[in-house]
Structure 1
Amino acid sequence: MKRTTLIKNAVALAVAAASTQALANGFTLNEQSISGMGQSFAGRSSAAEDATTLFGNPAGMSRLKRQEVSFGAAVIHGKTDIKHASGNASGSNDGDMVPDTGVPMGYYVNPINDKWAFGIGVYVPFGLKTDYESSFQGRRFGDYSEVTVITVQPTVSFRINDQLSVGFGPTINRIDGKLESAVGSPTPFDTRESRVKIEGDDTALGFNAGVLYEFTPQTRAGLTYHSKVKYKLEGHTTISGQNLGLASIDAFGKYDASLKLDTPESADLSITHELDDQWTLYGGATFTRWSRLESIVVNNEGLRTAAASANFGTIAEEQDWKDTWAYSVGTSYKLNEHWTLRTGLAYDEAPTNNEHRSPRIPTGDRTIFSLGFGWSPTPDVTVDVAYSYLWEDDAKIQQASASKGTYNATYENSAHGLGAALSYRF
């Protein structure tokens, strides 16, 4: 069959998801550690205080003295106010498009001897969902987006000497995504619409590597690298609805589709310093190479060239994302042998820009404040609980397309996050 390009320069199945529900920007999820969440993930690559270090810095497993199992989840509740909306299509702007989302995690670490440790973790590094009301005014630029990435990471760490440890783990990543959008005429008086839906999935490999250096028993620094992951999603494109007067174009139907996508690499550098037996300070910075999201092409088997050239069912979304930095500081206070209190503050840059920001990713620079505690009723058991609140700079949407018309709006985004985890050592 003849291959034709339906969507060019589109962030489609995996990345077309609004990020207002995540505690990290773009479509990254930060919720791989509830203890780290309590201090806004400051010191993520240097804290190495429980089994969640398998994600934060695999070299940190060398600090754990006993086998440990840790599992938990975070729930994210997002809120968006859409203001000053206008466009050629009629409709509503409720802003209630981010459903409450749960983010699970689980880890096991086994210190084999004084040098080697082994562990395995299951977590969600990327994944978001937006579901606008059916009458959303900007529906021609995207009204439903969903992505889930689940990662399994077997990991080893090795203590080179009393100060230096290294760790490495391959990652097995499963991605599933779905994108939907209305298709209509740019003429304001033409209300006829069709729909295009794209679904796909893939499994791909990456890796997570880290170095931990302990300057003194009280001060340590960590560097962690999460690799990019190259996907080729296989799935279907479905076009349905009215034919918008294009009687000569028989484009309705279901077509085999494929999409090549790279999720970005990131590097986290942090430091942890224990002031005394009670106070610990954390700080860190994370670089994410979001500029990889430039041009993504969905190829469809059997879609007639006439339909493609007429942009029937086309979703063209130029993103032009930029690399970003996130910064965080935090502290913990050991109240007694049973209770540890935590707090933190973070600032996270948005990869989007005013020219290409769309209703799918209406995110701005964000600030995150967190509180948390750890309760250890016995030396073997710890319960961690954390709460985070984030607020964003106003994000402006200024979309214009010859085939879809216009949509302009200002998004005011915020979110609450609540997480809990249980760790057991034996």
Structure 2
Amino acid sequence: MNNKFNKLTLAAAITAAAFASQAHAGGYQINEQSVSGQGYGHAGRSSNVEDATIVYGNPAGMSFLDRAQISVGGTYLNVNSDIDNASATRNGAPVTGSSEGDMVPGTLIPYAFYAHPVNEQLAFGFGVYAPFGSKTDYEDGFIGRNLGNYTELTVMSAQPTVSYRFNDQFSVGAGVTFNRVEGELKRQVPTFTFTGATPTGFQELDARIDGEDDGIGYNIGAIYRPVPETTLGLTYRSKVSYTLEGDYKAVDSDGNVYVNPLTGESQDKSAQLDLDTPETINFSVTQQMSEKLKLMFGASWTRWDRFDEILVTGPRGETITFEEQDYSDAWAYAVGGEYQWNSQLVLRAGVTLDKTPTSDQFRSARIPSDDRRIFSLGAGWSPTEDMTIDVAYSYLTERSTQVDQSRTDAGGTITSTYSADYKNEAHGFGAQLTYRF
């Protein structure tokens, strides 16, 4: 009766860890790979060549840099969530608990990029950054703990890159990404207590899963300048395939590994999940309006319909669980601008509209997100020709949304539900140092 509860937890654990990333980009991606770009809402991500962060934005842009440079920075994200009207049940009976909200701890997302033009045509570069990642930590006694109360994910990528400029108008670039994913998730799994073979009540097991894997992807880009004042950029980032190997353990209130009293099966096991993080396409245009002002527009598409199900298999290849997710492809749009106040100071601003890929029917406590708007301000100060210090601030607000979630445990004999209204917002504070050699 209870031998499937751990497997269902594994499915939610690895998948939620892999996709419940983010505070600043829809579809659980992280946008924080450039503070200079953050200032104008990343509207010119593929077309605005300013510093070494173009290694990520569009590898083709490196060959338009005039000299070698390094950009190092990070963005601190402070996420706030209000939860209202929260309720939960177990087999129809109310579950008691709290719903304090603010379950996302403050997080610093760092990065570093180096770009080295070899000559007027050829350039090499390298970057280290986080494309996915998050931590969600509900309080002890969270009312929705049977659905999920802790998620942590770290994805780090290393990207060697090359670009070639054919002439003053056109360049191409490509990079290979080496990616490492590590995830951990916890949930309080309900199961029966027994007298002999007769179920007499409920208990909650502290279930934990952590898994890891490596994956390889790539990105390619192109830049075209039909006239010196206009730059068009296009970047494609591939999907990355993982097979997460998970170690699962569930313990009782005394800290002992739980053993199914009917089957003698220990809840200390392994299982795996195949998943793909989706490919993305970004297009942007940068238009130099005058010597001091340039405007940018960008659009991004992410193929989230790849995430339409959770399929977890066991050691013998048997199907452990199947859960529908029904994600949809998503678009994001951004407009922004830069104003060169004087030779040392540039001012930036931007607005981003980001559609969520999540389904209303399957939205979960681990991923309670919806459509969002992001407003950004930034500035760059160059005290010398060799150094620039960039700062940025972004405010993100999401549309109010509702989670109405249920799942079964103990072979389908225990049904847990959780419903609540969520309102999420985030503040992002970024700083970056660029040094040119």
State the TM-score, normalizing by the size of structure 2. 0.89
SS of the equivalent of 1:61 reads: helix
Cα distance change on mapping 1:193 and 1:374 into 2, 3 Å: same
Q: What is the alpha-carbon distance in structure 2 between the residues aligned to residue 149 and residue 168 of structure 1?
A: 21
Q: Are 2:147 and 2:407, in contact at CA under 8 Å, matched by a contact in 1?
A: no
Q: What is the alpha-carbon distance in structure 2 between the residues aligned to residue 137 and residue 20 of structure 1?
A: 22
Q: What is the alpha-carbon distance in structure 1 between the residues aligned to residue 27 and residue 420 of structure 2?
A: 19
Q: Are 1:14 and 1:177, in contact at CA under 8 Å, matched by a contact in 2?
A: no
Q: What is the alpha-carbon distance in structure 1 between the residues aligned to residue 202 and residue 427 of structure 2?
A: 37
Q: What is the alpha-carbon distance in structure 1 between the residues aligned to residue 252 and residue 316 of structure 2?
A: 19
State the match for 2:64 in structure 1.
Answer: 63
Cα distance change on mapping 1:226 and 1:422 into 2, 3 Å: same
> Is 1:360–2:366 an aligned residue pair?
yes
| Letter of the 2:115 counterpart | V
State the match for 2:232 in structure 1.
Answer: 221
**Aligned with 1:346 (options 348, 352, 367):** 352
Cα distance change on mapping 1:83 and 1:33 into 2, 3 Å: same
**Aligned with 2:139 (options 125, 133, 138):** 133
Task: Deviation per CA, 1:26-51: give whole Å up to 9, x if none.
Answer: 22000000000001110100001111
State the match for 2:306 in structure 1.
Answer: 292
**1:231-250 equivalences in 2 (<5 Å):** 231-241=242-252, 247-250=261-264
State the match for 1:76 in structure 2.
Answer: 77
> Is 1:97–2:97 an aligned residue pair?
no
Q: Are 1:20 and 1:362, in contact at CA under 8 Å, matched by a contact in 2?
A: no
State the match for 2:119 in structure 1.
Answer: 113
Q: What is the alpha-carbon distance in structure 2 between the residues aligned to residue 377 and residue 261 of structure 1?
A: 47
Q: What is the alpha-carbon distance in structure 2 between the residues aligned to residue 151 and residue 139 of structure 1?
A: 32
Q: Are 1:11 and 1:319, in contact at CA under 8 Å, matched by a contact in 2?
A: no
Cα distance change on mapping 1:33 and 1:186 into 2, 3 Å: farther
Q: What is the alpha-carbon distance in structure 1 between the residues aligned to residue 12 and residue 261 of structure 2?
A: 29
State the match for 1:323 in structure 2.
Answer: 329
Q: What is the alpha-carbon distance in structure 1 between the residues aligned to residue 418 and residue 264 of structure 2?
A: 28
Cα distance change on mapping 1:142 and 1:199 into 2, 3 Å: same
Q: What is the alpha-carbon distance in structure 2 between the residues aligned to residue 325 and residue 375 of structure 1?
A: 32
5+ long unaligned stretches in structure 2: 90-94, 194-199, 409-413
Q: What is the alpha-carbon distance in structure 1 between the residues aligned to residue 402 and residue 380 of structure 2?
A: 39
Task: Deviation per CA, 1:199-234: give whole Å up to 9, x if none.
Answer: 111111000110100111111110000100001112
State the TM-score, normalizing by the size of structure 1. 0.92
RMSD (CA atoms): 2.6
State the match for 1:390 in structure 2.
Answer: 396
Q: Are 1:21 and 1:77, in contact at CA under 8 Å, matched by a contact in 2?
A: no
State the match for 1:6 in structure 2.
Answer: 7
Q: What is the alpha-carbon distance in structure 2 between the residues aligned to residue 219 and residue 94 of structure 1?
A: 49
| Identity in percent | 47
Q: What is the alpha-carbon distance in structure 2 between the residues aligned to residue 251 and residue 197 of structure 1?
A: 17
Deviation at 1:87, TM superposition (A): 1.4
5+ long unaligned stretches in structure 1: none
| Letter of the 2:174 counterpart | F
Task: Deviation per CA, 1:6-33: give whole Å up to 9, x if none.
Answer: 2399453254478585110122000000
SS of the equivalent of 1:137 reads: coil
Q: What is the alpha-carbon distance in structure 1 between the residues aligned to residue 72 and residue 216 of structure 2?
A: 23
Q: Are 1:382 and 1:424, in contact at CA under 8 Å, matched by a contact in 2?
A: yes
State the match for 2:47 in structure 1.
Answer: 46
Q: Are 2:189 and 2:204, in contact at CA under 8 Å, matched by a contact in 1?
A: yes
